[in-house]
Structure 1
Amino acid sequence: MSVKLDAIIFGATGFTGQIAVEKAPEVLQGLTWGVAGRNKSKLKNVLSTAGQKIGKDLSAVPIILADVGDRPSIEAMAAKCKVVINCCGPYRFYGEVVVKACIEAGTHHVDISGEPQYIEGMRLKYHYLAQKQHTYVISTCGFDSIPAEMGVVHAEKNFPGTVNTCEMFWENMLDYRDKNSKALLHAGTWESAIHAMANYGELKTLRRALETEKLPDLQPKLKYWPLARKVEFLDRYFFPIHSGDRDIVMDTQRLRYVNENKRPIQFENYIGFRSLWTTILTQITILFTVIMAQIPGLRQILIKNPKFFTRGFMSHEGPVDANRAAQRFQMTFRTRGWTESQPLTEQPKQELLTRLSSLDPFYGMTCLSVLATAKIILKESDKMPNDGGVLPPGYAFANTSLIEELGRLKNGLKFEVLKLEQQ
């Protein structure tokens, strides 16, 4: 293969990778792309199955053999394209070898990891090398954390004034078309989450090394609600998820402050349910799961039995197509700050409500997002910062057309401005 492909989907035989292959002809239209993995016959089958689903002949799509246990094969794959779309997790175990090979080859890398130790570890270890190679390495390009990151970007762009705080309220709407399956997520996602919980202590060391400059003491402070509460304007009960999306958004805010001298936006994210009981029970379940994940024996039991510990919401089979297609989510952003004419010494008087929504958030939308980020890197790198580096998506894509790209795709992200008010 003498001419580089524009993109390669690595891990194409995995649950998410197969869906990425189905979405690739739409998102990567006009670009050259291939698939990569360990088993040629399985890769051929993925292309055949995906082609049948979408009514396209994918038999001519290039196949590249690459295995994370065989470093030369990963290096050869990275050398064959301009950007690797990495769908092979858990990234804690399988991610670094791909990142390293991509940087050395001068190939961009995007993935769908939400694993904080991997994300921050790669930033600490490879950021300056990636900059030197003019290469972008961008994680959390799926449901974690494109909606949160681009939701904040969208809110700020539509806020006429200076933003002080932004709160994100996430809701899922479930419609089980196939009553025989309750699964929302594949067991691979569950395993990644358990390992992230089990090794949460590693983050302190990583963050001490990364956060060399403190953020300013912003006033007025955003109030943090640790327990379940009712949010009246949404008529739902919410509790905070003080990690995940929040960490990524705040990484972006830190980079804006350090590199561009921009005032950081204070951010919190919440997940909500109709019932107070469901909200409290979910919060307690997460707490007990975190505790169990700290104990090696219990951790393995958790990993091996996702269906039991999640009441069927996660399984080794993953969600069926009918239920994926019917699942919907929305994130509502309440953004507060100062009007254009207000001095920042006054109390903020302006509030903006925005929203984004989509179908099939965990897989369909995730794959559309990661493919779209790869396309944007190829098409609009001149609008991205630092000429490379290991970056969060909100910082990397803030000045690109990623929001518009996601909005034009079938079942992509719909961005809306709901209401602007002044007190």
Structure 2
Amino acid sequence: MAPLYDIVIFGASGFTGKHVLKEALKFLSPNSPLTSLALAGRSSSKLTETLKWASKTHPTIPILVADTSDPPSLRRMASQAKLVLNCVGPFRLHSEPVVDACVEAGCDYLDICGEPEFMERMEAVYYERAVEMGSLVVSACGFDSLPAELGLMFNLKQWVSPKVPNRVQAYVSLESGKGLVANFATFESAVLGTSNADKLAKLRRSARRRARLSVIYKIGENF
């Protein structure tokens, strides 16, 4: 069956997912390459409320019920998508079934994960099957990674070819109101990552080394 939707946002009613949805709706127009979008999560009523919050026009967006504790529901979701954008964390607790469903369906998978052990474990477990099924699995498409990547691309554009920088250092400065500003899932992910650091070290020692993709940015290229 051909995929019905360009993107399915999984966990769209969560803290981060609702903001992802709000931004995604800006690109859903007749003139955009993004022509079809669906929402997925455990509660259809919460997803409906989130859609009302995200858009004043209340567009008609399909809603799919899927739960990380229900693998068949994840497979149904993945079979209808070209790409699943996963916003359900902590990822080490909830998201391997989502990766598995996407790989088996041959659809692409993106997430906003910042948990190194989860990301590297998914590569170790699913790499061969993802290649076989034509599924692209990409993590860390969120706050932790994007400033560094965009900063690198910006720096590359400051050099005149054939000169290129061989090292870029970056730092991030945050300003907020009084107190720590973070949601519980982010805090929980940080705690779990720290407490399982030994598992990451063990994984890195045991994992088979693979050749890395060479990514070349053209100096004059827009981004």
The TM-score, its normalising length taken from structure 1, stands at 0.48
> Using the alignment, how far apart are the partners of 2:137 and 2:206 within structure 1?
19
Q: Paired residue for 1:173, among 168, 172, 175? A: 175
Q: Matched residue of 1:143: which SS?
A: coil
Larger Rg: 1
How much has 1:25 moved relative to structure 2? 1.1
Q: How far apart are the structure 2 equivalents of 1:14 and 1:122?
A: 23
Q: Is the 8 A contact 2:3 2:82 kept in 1?
A: no
Secondary structure at the aligned position of 1:166 is classed as coil
Is the CA contact 1:68–1:98 (under 8 Å) kept in the aligned structure 2? Answer: yes
Task: Report the Cα distance in structure 1 between the residues aligned to 2:119 and 2:202, rounded to whole angstroms.
Answer: 13
Q: Does the alignment pair 1:35 with 2:32? A: no
Q: In 1, distance between residues paired with 2:88 and 2:95?
A: 7
Correspondence 1:164 to 2:166: yes
When residues 402 and 147 of structure 1 are mapped into structure 2, their CA distance, relative to the original with a 3 A threshold, is farther
1:142 partnered with 2:139:
no
Per the TM alignment, residue 21 of structure 1 is displaced from its structure 2 partner at its CA by: 1.5
Contact 1:150–1:398, Cα closer than 8 Å, also in 2: no
Of the candidates 47, 51, 66, which is equivalent to residue 51 of structure 2?
A: 47
Letter in 1 for 2:37: W
Separation in structure 1 between the aligned mates of residue 133 and residue 157 of structure 2, nearest angstrom: 31
Give the CA deviation at 1:398: 5.2
Give the structure 1 partner of residue 16 of structure 2. Answer: 16
Q: CA deviation at 1:139?
A: 0.4
CA distance in 2, matches of 1:86, 1:21: 12
Alpha-carbon distance between aligned partners in 2 of 1:171 and 1:402, rounded to the nearest angstrom: 27
Residue type matched to 1:206 in 2? L
Residue pairs, 1:382-393, within 5 angstroms? none
> Would you say the 8 A contact 2:3–2:79 is kept in 1?
no
1:150·1:403 contact (CA, 8 Å) conserved in 2? no
Aligned match of 1:121:
121
State the match for 1:56 in structure 2: 57
Amino-acid identity (%): 35
Gaps of 5+ in 2: none
Change (3 A) 1:167 1:80: same
Task: Please name the residue that 1:242 is paired with.
Answer: none
**What SS does the aligned partner of 2:173 have?**
strand
**2: CA distance, partners of 1:105 / 1:132:** 11
Q: Distance in 2 between matches of 1:65 and 1:5?
A: 15
1:194 corresponds to: 191
SS at match of 2:61: coil
Distance 2:173 2:85 in 1: 28
Say if 1:212 and 1:2 are closer, same or farther in 2 by CA, change over 3 A. closer
1:390 corresponds to: none
Q: Residue type of the partner of 1:74?
A: L
Measured after TM superposition, the shift of residue 157 of structure 1 is 4.2
TM-score, normalized by length of structure 2?
A: 0.87
Superposed displacement of residue 403, structure 1: 6.4
Higher RCO by CA contacts (8 Å cutoff, separation 6 or greater): 1
Q: How many residues align?
A: 216
**Hey, which of these two has a bigger chunk of strand by percent?**
1
Which runs of no fewer than 5 residues in structure 1 stay unpaired? 214-253, 261-394, 405-423
The 2-side partners of 1:193 and 1:82 are apart by 30
Is 2:155 the counterpart of 1:155?
yes
Distance 1:194 1:28, change over 3 A: farther
CA deviation vs aligned residue, 1:73-96 (integer Å, no higher than 9, x gap): 000000011000100011001111
Letter in 1 for 2:166: N
